[in-house]
Amino acid sequence: MRSTAMKLILALTIMAFAGAAHAQATRTWVSGVGDDANPCSRTAPCKTFAGAISKTASGGEINALDDGGFGTVTITKPITIEGGGHIASVLNSGVNGIIINTPGANDLVILRDIEINGAGTGVRGINVISCKRLVVENVHIYNQSSASPNGQGIFIGGSTTTQLISIRHCQIDKNSAQGIQSGPTSPGANVLEVEDSTIEHNGASGVELGGNSSKMTMSHSYVNFNGGSGVAIDNSSSDAHIAGSYLNFNVIGVSTTNGIAQLYLSQISHNQISVQVSGGSVQSHGNNAVMNNVTNTLPTATTPAGTQ
């Protein structure tokens, strides 16, 4: 009897470990015809990102096996979500699309090849509460239209440490508030890299740097047709360096109430006001095109002497 009981305990222990290992696969899969009761393997995929994330190991990857709507998800550990060239859609009517809250000192989250559609009532497309390192690549975020203070395509909130956010090859449009808003409220800083992206037709500014401290470099991007500024800087410890980009058809091309914007090889055209400075400064390298605005206000200063 004792031997039988011991064998039963051993069998249950092995099953428990096997289940735990299975629940924490390095790579999992979702499919439009999957089921969250499945183990999220390639041959038995899950239905949603939320179903797959609990079965994916820290630092692992969720892949889309085919086209589908994979639902909203909250990310609390380092992970990659990869659409893989499929229509990997998140429909976030009335809620946030993707919430990121990873407290680890070295956590990396990657979102790639995903579509986030707020369907006219979405709260925020991506809501970053905390993340040491975030890469958003080839992601389309649109139709976030919840009432203020929500409605942003990407909102990057506060953290006690510096957060590095890379936004590459993205399209962020038709949101009721800002396309991207950086608003840390704690001593930490947000560092944004915006590259080869299109941010347009948003109800407020294309990009707004506010809160405590936000630093941004923008290159080869289009920030057009926004209801506020193309780029707005609202904090004295924030700054933006804009190179090779187009800020056209906005209410204001670039505005500062505090902080600094520096422009290099960029075009500010067909805005109501090209540059508006209420505090801080907008500096030019002397090689920008400021033209065809209703009010052609020039940058307030050139870059400091010695700048190459």
CATH of the domain at 257: 2.160.20.10
In terms of Cα–Cα distance, which of 101, 99, 134 is closest to 116?
A: 99
For residues 15 and 47, state if they share a domain: yes
Is residue 220 in some structural domain?
yes
Strands (E) across 131-244 are located at 133-137, 140-144, 154-156, 163-168, 171-173, 180-182, 190-195, 198-200, 207-209, 214-219, 222-224, 229-233, 239-243
For residues 26 and 167, state if they share a domain: no
The contacts of residue 294 (CB under 8 Å, 6+ apart) are 271, 272, 273
Question: Region 231-236: what's the mean pLDDT?
Answer: 91
Is residue 73 in some structural domain?
yes
Give yes or no for residue 305 having a pLDDT over 70. no
Is residue 307 in some structural domain?
no
For residues 212 and 244, state if they share a domain: yes
Is residue 259 in some structural domain?
yes
**Residue 41, domain extent:** 1-58
Is residue 195 in some structural domain?
yes
For residues 169 and 206, state if they share a domain: yes
pTM assigned to the model: 0.90
Query: Where among 40, 58, 76 does a domain terminate?
Result: 58
For residues 151 and 94, state if they share a domain: yes
For residues 177 and 44, state if they share a domain: no
What is residue 23's predicted lDDT score, i.e. its pLDDT?
Answer: 53
**Is the preceding peptide bond at 299 cis, omega within 30 degrees of 0?**
no
Report the mean per-residue pLDDT for the chain. 90
What is residue 157's predicted lDDT score, i.e. its pLDDT?
Answer: 86
Domains of the chain: total: 2
Q: Note the pLDDT tens digit of each residue in 99-116.
A: 999 988 889 999 999 999
For residues 136 and 281, state if they share a domain: yes
Least confident interval from 6-15, 239-248, 274-283: 6-15
Q: Note the pLDDT tens digit of each residue in 62-78.
A: 999 999 999 999 999 99
For residues 232 and 106, state if they share a domain: yes
For residues 53 and 87, state if they share a domain: no
Q: Note the pLDDT tens digit of each residue in 186-213.
A: 656 789 999 999 999 999 999 999 877 7
What is residue 2's predicted lDDT score, i.e. its pLDDT?
Answer: 52
What is residue 250's predicted lDDT score, i.e. its pLDDT?
Answer: 98
For residues 150 and 40, state if they share a domain: no
What is residue 162's predicted lDDT score, i.e. its pLDDT?
Answer: 76
What is residue 237's predicted lDDT score, i.e. its pLDDT?
Answer: 83
Is residue 216 in some structural domain?
yes
Q: Note the pLDDT tens digit of each residue in 245-282.
A: 999 999 999 999 989 999 999 999 999 999 999 999 99
Q: Note the pLDDT tens digit of each residue in 150-163.
A: 999 999 986 667 78
For residues 25 and 100, state if they share a domain: no
Least confident interval from 35-39, 117-121, 187-191, 236-240: 187-191
What is residue 185's predicted lDDT score, i.e. its pLDDT?
Answer: 61
For residues 127 and 178, state if they share a domain: yes
What is residue 3's predicted lDDT score, i.e. its pLDDT?
Answer: 59
CA-to-CA separations, 29 to 81, 88, 126, in angstroms, rounded: 10, 12, 21
Q: Note the pLDDT tens digit of each residue in 89-102.
A: 999 999 999 999 99
